[in-house]
Amino acid sequence: MSKDVRVTIWNEFRHEKTNEAVKKIYPQGMQAVIGRALEKAGGFRVRTATLDEPEHGLTEKVLDETDVLTWWGHLAHGEVKDEIVERVHKRVLEGMGLLVLHSGHFAKIFRKLLGTNCSLKWREAAEKERLWNLEPGHPITEGIGDFIELANAEMYGERFDIPTPDKLIFVSWFEGGEVFRSGCCWERGHGRIFYFRPGHETYPIYHHPEIQRVLANACRWAAPRIRKPDCCPHVPTPLEKIPTKTIDLQHVKP
Amino acid sequence: MSKDVRVTIWNEFRHEKTNEAVKKIYPQGMQAVIGRALEKAGGFRVRTATLDEPEHGLTEKVLDETDVLTWWGHLAHGEVKDEIVERVHKRVLEGMGLLVLHSGHFAKIFRKLLGTNCSLKWREAAEKERLWNLEPGHPITEGIGDFIELANAEMYGERFDIPTPDKLIFVSWFEGGEVFRSGCCWERGHGRIFYFRPGHETYPIYHHPEIQRVLANACRWAAPRIRKPDCCPHVPTPLEKIPTKTIDLQHVKP
Amino acid sequence: MSKDVRVTIWNEFRHEKTNEAVKKIYPQGMQAVIGRALEKAGGFRVRTATLDEPEHGLTEKVLDETDVLTWWGHLAHGEVKDEIVERVHKRVLEGMGLLVLHSGHFAKIFRKLLGTNCSLKWREAAEKERLWNLEPGHPITEGIGDFIELANAEMYGERFDIPTPDKLIFVSWFEGGEVFRSGCCWERGHGRIFYFRPGHETYPIYHHPEIQRVLANACRWAAPRIRKPDCCPHVPTPLEKIPTKTIDLQHVKP
Amino acid sequence: MSKDVRVTIWNEFRHEKTNEAVKKIYPQGMQAVIGRALEKAGGFRVRTATLDEPEHGLTEKVLDETDVLTWWGHLAHGEVKDEIVERVHKRVLEGMGLLVLHSGHFAKIFRKLLGTNCSLKWREAAEKERLWNLEPGHPITEGIGDFIELANAEMYGERFDIPTPDKLIFVSWFEGGEVFRSGCCWERGHGRIFYFRPGHETYPIYHHPEIQRVLANACRWAAPRIRKPDCCPHVPTPLEKIPTKTIDLQHVKP
């Protein structure tokens, strides 16, 4: 029951190496900050994986030992190999949880799972964001009040091109005048998916205690309830007796 | 308002060339029977397209003139070029309607739009199928009573690996003991998608007047309400004034 | 096909009689302004009905001739007779459309159809509201751009206690810092329901051309597709032969 | 975390007193059999309540100590006092779980929460029912295989007049030719609702080990995540500064 949830934190990990402002906020990468937050929250076994590792750090073995995968990417979505995307996609449909973070809205894996463009409106003005909590009874908002306020955020605005979420958890208000569906749940196959908007690399969003709380909650929520390989079974023997048939051709017109 | 709906009926068109039993039921291919049914229903301009034509018959020009595309495939899903799948996918998200028929559940375009495996249970025993009408007020069931009965059908059984439909229109009862979600609606991007289960090639399903009625209804329902290319706009100028900001670093721990 | 949609505009019609500011904006009541807007839009036959008429103006005969009912109430929800609420409820489930406007969120009929409290946060500060259009392809937003801006509005904020809408059309941004699901679609029975937030009595919201456009679009969208009385049929004769049975008691423990 | 879930099993408890066949199957009432099943499953504290007790056994005190309420009624829906229905309704919206069983589809509390007629087709022929499991990853189907088979069941057939379920768990196949959405989940307010079809009084359905398993699973699933009284807060002070306003009357036509 209360086994640790095994989380693999995937990060593109490029901005942190090249941009001084980002490096200052995330000297060891965002994955390190998110990882420490989960460890502090307790109940998780955390590992990280990044784009530039072999197989992007997502070998079959790593995925065998992953209950929930979190995904942050931005600059280099196109460098993620299709073969790895297929591999992760298969795992989610089998039951693995997936958290897609911020600019991960354009990640191949997110678009493949949702089937839409996942496009949106955007602006970088360090503006204020207030994420309103629409579902105070949902496990993802446990311990969160009426809203979360971020002093500085990149703006993402509607229309967000996604399938209607199964459950809409957060809606953001932006200082500059826009709104956004910032916390969205879906189920695909046997897996659970949570998209969580905040997280721009030049603002210290993943250091924020309430954002960390949501991430921990979401990793618990997305943990697999089942693991089940896909199949398309041929069942030649029916459960009920079917008499021998002749094909009815009454509607066939010459 | 009452302009004709331009429907392109896409068919793999292989079984009809090689299998004598199928040829007898569909001498000119299923597409011809479906096409005539729509023309008889009225309000449509119909064309057909098949796998073995150049670009599978789905050139940009053809799609420019297509409001609703219907899709039947079975043997040769793998032969459909990814480039054409991308093209159709883009069009659906922009607003074009899509009807996916029977074994089209495994078509690349269907899986790409839904993001799941779209797998199911199956059996060929010419058994009876009864499609129960769950939504008598929906445009797709106009003129259809409590159920449609087919004397002979291939069985498809649950679990059908699809995202929860926006609207579940038909549920099938099979003589051999299974059930299936046989009529399912989704919206993706600005386009509408309808999956309709009946249609096995060795039974004369598309000759059935009530099946033809559903197809015509569904083509009307899926007709575009809008056509809108995807974009991800950068809006540097906010609608509201944003004061100059300094980044708040209070939560950043060294 | 293109028969006029018969709309009955129901208004509590109390504020307009007692409050000078409201009287100035709506000298003949909101119903008159909404009615003229629909007539100008074309394709409607409009009548009005108000609380203080016998049977609140909603006799069986009036409802027989009503395709879509719009509902505005505020001060006097409690004065609406349960018997009339039952009558309207029955009609919606049979197929009649219903638009619930602004403070109608607390109307008996809305709560009866949705089953929840329909409570929300509120403030009167004449603040700016911007309704973002999430569904540019939906009939309700035809002719509406990215957003509608209102110079002065009462604020309604989340959490709005409603069942997850089938389709979320508008999300509002408020100057004071809140957000709200301002345009929501549901289907109940065979009827369609649209909740539309704007409309506070002391601001001239129903004079706004884009608000009028949404109201006309929504009345068209909500027009009945079917009218079908409820029943719970006893079908003693099965469609398939059922052999005579003895009750299996194997699991009954003494 | 692993505190016992406190379940109150509500039963009309009339058939069992007057009908000899029912008495034989449920000598102490269905509530006793369901209660023993939960106790055997473990993790529950069980009490029962019945129609003929004062306040139908559902005093405020009992509800204070109830996490999940299960509801079976049939003959005497009309005898359930509106005041008690209101009380239960309020509790569900605040977070209490509710399981509605079989003929409880017509219970006042179910119709009040869903807002629809909840009508269906029915037949008593002791026929075979097979409940297909559409969601093998859902907590409610834990330990259940592809389907549950019941040798004898009353038939319920579509169209079941309910709002589209958030999640459709079971679909039934009936020997006589019908289908039914037999396991449906909804959330209303902060509470979870599960409708579970099987349970006719003259067949020993609640003795069936897999039915008992589903009931225990569903009681765990429906346990409150939060308890939160409804409110509609007036928030006169905005989060953001709103300048003093004059009402814009540009659209008001004389």
Residue by residue, pLDDT tens for chain A (254 residues) are 468 999 999 999 999 999 999 999 999 999 999 999 999 999 999 999 999 999 999 999 999 999 999 999 999 999 999 999 999 999 999 999 999 999 999 999 999 999 999 999 999 999 999 999 999 999 999 999 999 999 999 999 999 999 999 999 999 999 999 999 999 999 999 999 999 999 999 999 999 999 999 999 999 999 999 999 999 999 999 999 999 999 999 999 76
Interface membership of A106 toward C (CB under 8 Å) = no
Q: What is the DSSP letter of D34?
A: H
Q: Which residue of A has its CA nearest to C149?
A: A177
- The C-alpha of C98 sits at a distance from chain B's nearest C-alpha, in angstroms, of 16
Q: How far is CA B245 from CA A125, A153, D101, D133, D238, in A?
A: 8, 11, 58, 54, 21
Whole-angstrom Cα distance, residue C2 to residue B82? Answer: 42
To probe the interface with D, which of C188, C207, C211 has the most D CB atoms within 10 Å? C188
Q: Strands (DSSP E) along chain C, which ranges?
A: 5-11, 44-50, 68-72, 97-101, 121-133, 147-157, 167-174, 179-188, 191-196
**Maximum CA pair distance of chain D?**
77
Whole-angstrom Cα distance, residue C162 to residue A243? Answer: 50
Interface membership of C129 toward A (CB under 8 Å) = no
Report how far apart the first and last C-alpha atoms of chain C are (Å, whole number). 64
Interface membership of D133 toward B (CB under 8 Å) = yes
Interface membership of C64 toward B (CB under 8 Å) = no
Q: Which tokens hold the place of C114?
A: 């949705």
Residue A236, Cβ density class (10 Å: 0-12 exposed, 13-18 middle, ≥19 buried): exposed
Q: Write down the residue that tokens 């349960």 correspond to.
A: C82
Q: Cβ B134–D168 below 8 Å, yes or no?
A: no
For residue D136, which amino acid is it? Answer: P
In chain D, which residues have their Cβ closer than 8 Å to the Cβ of B174?
173
Average the pLDDT over C113-122 and give the result: 98
Q: What is the DSSP letter of C17?
A: H
- Segment A139-192, tens digit of pLDDT: 999 999 999 999 999 999 999 999 999 999 999 999 999 999 999 999 999 999
In chain D, which residues have their Cβ closer than 8 Å to the Cβ of A164?
none
Closest CA to D117 of D183, D163, D70, D172: D163
Interface membership of C151 toward B (CB under 8 Å) = no
Q: Cβ C226–B190 below 8 Å, yes or no?
A: no
Residue C13 host element (H or E): none
Give the number of other Cβ atoms within 10 Å of residue C23's Cβ: 15
Contact of B49 with B70, CB cutoff 8 Å:
no
To probe the interface with B, which of A19, A112, A161 has the most B CB atoms within 10 Å? A161
pLDDT band at B2, cuts 50/70/90? low
Closest CA to D151 of D127, D170, D135: D127
Whole-angstrom Cα distance, residue A193 to residue B216? Answer: 36
In chain B, which residues have their Cβ closer than 8 Å to the Cβ of A161?
93, 189, 230
Q: Cβ C138–B239 below 8 Å, yes or no?
A: no
Query: What would the DSSP string read from start to end of C158-210?
Result: SPP--PPPSEEEEEEEETTS-EEEEEEEEEETTEEEEEE----TTTTGGG-HH
Whole-angstrom Cα distance, residue D132 to residue B157? Answer: 9
> Strand, coil or helix: what is B66?
coil
Whole-angstrom Cα distance, residue C23 to residue C9? Answer: 18
Whole-angstrom Cα distance, residue A85 to residue A73? Answer: 13
> Strand, coil or helix: what is A113?
helix
- Segment B21-80, tens digit of pLDDT: 999 999 999 999 999 999 999 999 999 999 999 999 999 999 999 999 999 999 999 999
Q: Which residue of C has its CA nearest to B225?
A: C137
Whole-angstrom Cα distance, residue C203 to residue C151? Answer: 9
Write the ipTM.
0.96
Residue by residue, pLDDT tens for chain D (254 residues) are 468 999 999 999 999 999 999 999 999 999 999 999 999 999 999 999 999 999 999 999 999 999 999 999 999 999 999 999 999 999 999 999 999 999 999 999 999 999 999 999 999 999 999 999 999 999 999 999 999 999 999 999 999 999 999 999 999 999 999 999 999 999 999 999 999 999 999 999 999 999 999 999 999 999 999 999 999 999 999 999 999 999 999 999 76
Q: Cβ D136–A2 below 8 Å, yes or no?
A: no
**Residue B194 has what pLDDT?**
98
Contact of C113 with C188, CB cutoff 8 Å:
yes
Contact of B22 with B16, CB cutoff 8 Å:
yes
Q: How many CA atoms lie within 13 A of C138 on its CB side?
A: 23
Average the pLDDT over C37-47 and give the result: 98
- The C-alpha of A171 sits at a distance from chain D's nearest C-alpha, in angstroms, of 16
Chains that touch D (3 or more CB pairs under 8 A): A, B, C
Q: Which residues pair with D121 in a beta bridge?
A: D157
Q: Cβ A168–C171 below 8 Å, yes or no?
A: no
Q: Which residue of D has its CA nearest to C192?
A: D163
Contact of C181 with C167, CB cutoff 8 Å:
no
Contact of A242 with B123, CB cutoff 8 Å:
no
**Residue C253 has what pLDDT?**
74
Chains that touch C (3 or more CB pairs under 8 A): A, B, D
Phi, psi dihedral angles at D38 (to 5 degrees): -65, -45
Whole-angstrom Cα distance, residue A222 to residue A24? Answer: 31
Closest CA to D232 of C179, A134, A171, C156: C156
- The C-alpha of A26 sits at a distance from chain D's nearest C-alpha, in angstroms, of 31
Exposure class string for A82-93: b at 16+ Cβ within 10 A, else e: eebbebbbbbbb
Q: Which tokens hold the place of C139?
A: 């009939």
Q: Write down the residue that tokens 């259940």 correspond to.
A: D144
In chain B, which residues have their Cβ closer than 8 Å to the Cβ of D157?
132
Whole-angstrom Cα distance, residue B184 to residue B169? Answer: 6
Phi, psi dihedral angles at D239 (to 5 degrees): -75, -30
Whole-angstrom Cα distance, residue B68 to residue B96? Answer: 6
Interface membership of A36 toward C (CB under 8 Å) = no
Q: What is the DSSP letter of C55?
A: G
Interface membership of A242 toward B (CB under 8 Å) = yes
Whole-angstrom Cα distance, residue D92 to residue D84? Answer: 12
> Strand, coil or helix: what is B44?
strand
Does the pTM surpass 0.80? The reply is: yes
**Residue B1 has what pLDDT?**
43
Phi/psi-derived region of residue A84, left when phi > 0, alpha when psi is between -120 and 50, beta in every other case:
alpha
Average the pLDDT over C186-190 and give the result: 98
Interface membership of B28 toward A (CB under 8 Å) = no
In chain A, which residues have their Cβ closer than 8 Å to the Cβ of D239?
130
Average the pLDDT over B213-235 and give the result: 97
Q: Cβ B171–D178 below 8 Å, yes or no?
A: no
Q: How many CA atoms lie within 13 A of B222 on its CB side?
A: 34
Q: How far is CA A108 from CA A103, A158, B85, in A?
A: 11, 20, 16
Q: Write down the residue that tokens 């499991």 correspond to.
A: D133
- The C-alpha of D190 sits at a distance from chain A's nearest C-alpha, in angstroms, of 6
Q: Which of B158, B160, B167 sits opposite D164 (nearest CB)?
A: B167
In chain D, which residues have their Cβ closer than 8 Å to the Cβ of A142?
225
Q: Cβ A137–D228 below 8 Å, yes or no?
A: yes
Contact of C11 with C199, CB cutoff 8 Å:
no
Q: Which residue of C has its CA nearest to B135?
A: C190
Q: Which of C136, C167, C171 sits opposite A171 (nearest CB)?
A: C171
Q: Which tokens hold the place of B133?
A: 């009408």
Dihedral sign, Cα of residue A199, residue A201, residue A203, residue A208: positive
Residue D25, Cβ density class (10 Å: 0-12 exposed, 13-18 middle, ≥19 buried): buried
In chain C, which residues have their Cβ closer than 8 Å to the Cβ of B150?
none
For residue D149, which amino acid is it? Answer: E
Closest CA to B102 of B62, B69, B73, B138: B73
Helix runs in D95-207, H state only = 108-114
